Structure 1
């Protein structure tokens, strides 16, 4: 399994997912799902009739309670697995100024990190996502 980064606008019609890498100040903000002990960035499926930007804003709120933020589209990514067709998503950066109460959906808590923690939900994807986001920031 591998993740491939594409230029923004590539395969927009095939998008199924969004991932939002969050920063507050100099720290990365990640969420922990109620049923897992690992940390992850906000994200999920794009609902029918919803744009990727709308899905990113919705997922960011639902999974973190973010109320005041700037959302930046970074690139399109795809995930290639031997047993499944290639799937496409859109990667975002959110700079969050203020969080509200944690919404009562699937996430249990959020936490800020100075570095990517060892226990992440998608260890094969997150280093590539962070590399691309850091290139955008710098």
Structure 2
């Protein structure tokens, strides 16, 4: 498995299938737990047919965290290659200022962590995505 990063706009829009949103609330990282799993993940998900990738990022953030007041910024494109299969997505950074009720969808729990939790849903992917977000956010300060 291989994770690679690219500048914004360097991957054809139609190839971007996912949005992942590294999110902060009160200085802590937001992770979510799917109702069917016992592991934590960064908010994000699949792009719907006809949806702009920026809309995917906003929709997934709201659906998976219940965020009401937030900022969201595209960071870069990324790819994940497993064997002969390569998929692409856009990575976002969000600062959440307030939460509403969590929609009754696939997420069962939202929690804020000072450190990345050990039991990640995608341990071969998520640490790379989180590191990229943190690196770029620190450079912009």
TM-score, scaled relative to structure 2: 0.94
Superposed, which structure 2 residues align to 1:51-66 within 5 Å?
51-66=52-67
By how many angstroms is 1:106 displaced? 0.2
Q: Which residue of 2 aligns with 1:135?
A: 135
Output the CA distance in 1 between the equivalents of 2:30 and 2:46: 20
By how many angstroms is 1:79 displaced? 0.6
By how many angstroms is 1:78 displaced? 0.3
Output the CA distance in 1 between the equivalents of 2:19 and 2:130: 14
Q: Which residue of 1 aligns with 2:88?
A: 88
Output the CA distance in 2 between the equivalents of 1:123 and 1:2: 12
Structure 2: gaps of 5 or more residues: none
TM-score, scaled relative to structure 1: 0.96
Superposed, which structure 2 residues align to 1:1-138 within 5 Å?
1-13=1-13, 14-82=15-83, 84-138=84-138
The DSSP-based 3-state class of the residue aligned with 1:102 is: coil
By how many angstroms is 1:25 displaced? 2.2
